A = this chain, B = another copy of it.
Amino acid sequence: MAETRTTDPYRTYLREDQIPTAWYNLRADMPEKPEPMRLPNGKVATVDNIAPVFARALCEQELDDDTAYFDIPEPVMEMYRVYRPSPLCRAYNLERALGTPAKIYYKFEGNNTSGSHKLNSALAQAYYAYAEGITNITTETGAGQWGTALSEAAAHFGLSLDVYMVKCSYEQKPFRRSVMQTFGATITPSPSDTTAAGRKILASDPTCTGSLGTAISEAVERALNVPGNKGRYQLGSVLNQVLLHQSVIGLESYEALAELGEYPDIVIGCCGGGSNFGGLIAPFMRDKLNGAHPDTRFIGVEPASCPSLTRGVYAYDFADTGQTCPLCKMYTLGSGFIPSPDHAGGLRYHGMSPVVSKLKHDGYMEAVAVKQTDVFAAAEQFAKLETILPAPESSHAILQAIREAERCRETGEAKTILFGLTGTGYFDMVAYDKYNRGELEDHIPTDEELQVGFNTIPHIPGLQ
């Protein structure tokens, strides 16, 4: 059984003193910067513009395209030490089963109670709010990983947290709700009657099962209505600040691979809003941009049912359905796009991180869209071989890693593949059950269906 094994261990753990002490801001090393965030009137957003919504330190990180490193505050480091470094894993069992000469590594971020990489940014965002005297934070959650992570972070820093949970998830994932409540968060199914945005939607459709875009609108409104300017909204993906915090994934991967004498030929991550992918690729993309490793391939993997990178347009668009947030230039399906409710595999957001979008637009990375039935097949294969039951989101990356490794089997190339295993699927068993019963189907939007979403992209004179 051990015949293909090298001396590399199955799991490489860095020492605690190797946890990065600063986040890396890839934007500082991008020769062409992402397009700036803009207000609905077309003007470039300033820190003062967005400070009512986000903690000031986070606003500064959001808009800073020049500072390469931001020191991680000590209280955040303290909590990183509780669950980091995360392991860099060699998928020997998977390699053997595929009969591939490729080496497959994955960075596993699921070994914490939030079950995913989301905790990396949740702790940072909660800390900055706490440090600025904020008492109440709000957010939205769909699948629940971000909400769980922020619940843990809020509990640690003593913040009151209101989570707007997409109603269909609230009903289908009662245990996600329970975990968040155990950490002390208040959970409201969205759309709700607690906000004007929610009441408006309920008035037109009392049975609405919600969307991420709607939950964002409600959470932002709720934060702005906390008395005494003590409320702020926090978001788990898309934003530059989130990719900055998630750079710990890439930095640790980089260091662990260096200890093994490895450098990846291909880096693969799932793409919803881009938080994991953007964090994972950061130091490797730096090496591509500066010519140190020009040939590394980067592949973002998205669901065919919500294909922003592969079928979206690169345009300024709103982050929320209510169209009240600032605009980002990104690959988008339009804030009015709603993926099929049959879609189980997460990654349901209409847009994409401006950083990831810019890299894709400028040709530094590839993107592929995959079917959820293939994703769950890869998830089960991986679970049986590697004994980790992966989150459906993470399994998009697994599928692509398998496909690349199979290509290596055909060509005989011993490539080094790195992918991000963002989390575990313990709260996704309804979807696994559906797959096991053969009831999971793929709904790939037609061009006509996509056009409905595109029609919600704003046309702002002089911008697009």
Contacts and interface: CB of A to CB of B under 8 A. Distances in A.
Contacts of A436: 178, 181-182
A364 interface: no
Chain A contact residues, majority secondary structure: helix
Contacts of A82: 10-11, 93, 386-387
B1 A75 contact: yes
A356 to B, nearest CB: 28
Nearest to A80: B10
Nearest to A175: B429
A152 interface: yes
Interface in A47-83: 74-75, 78-79, 81-83
In the complex, the count of this chain's copies comes to 2
Contacts of A427: 175, 426
A359 B369 CA distance: 60
Contact of A432 (B92, B178, B388): B178
Contact of A1 (B13, B74, B92, B426): B74
Contacts of A114: 387
Contacts of A179: 389, 426, 429, 432
Contacts of A9: 15-17, 81
Contacts of A389: 113, 179, 182
Given A10-B81, A178-B433, A182-B432, 12 more contacts: A2-B74, A2-B78, A9-B81, A11-B16, A111-B111, A113-B383, A113-B426, A156-B387, A174-B429, A175-B427, A175-B429, A179-B432
30 contacts: A1-B78, A2-B78, A9-B81, A11-B16, A11-B81, A11-B83, A78-B92, A82-B386, A82-B387, A112-B387, A113-B383, A113-B387, A113-B424, A114-B387, A152-B384, A152-B387, A156-B385, A156-B387, A178-B430, A178-B432, A178-B436, A179-B389, A181-B436, A182-B380, A182-B383, A182-B436, A183-B383, A183-B384, A184-B384, A426-B427
Interface of A: 1-2, 9-11, 13, 15-17, 74-75, 78-79, 81-83, 92-93, 111-115, 119, 152, 155-156, 174-175, 178-179, 181-184, 380, 383-389, 424, 426-427, 429-430, 432-433, 436
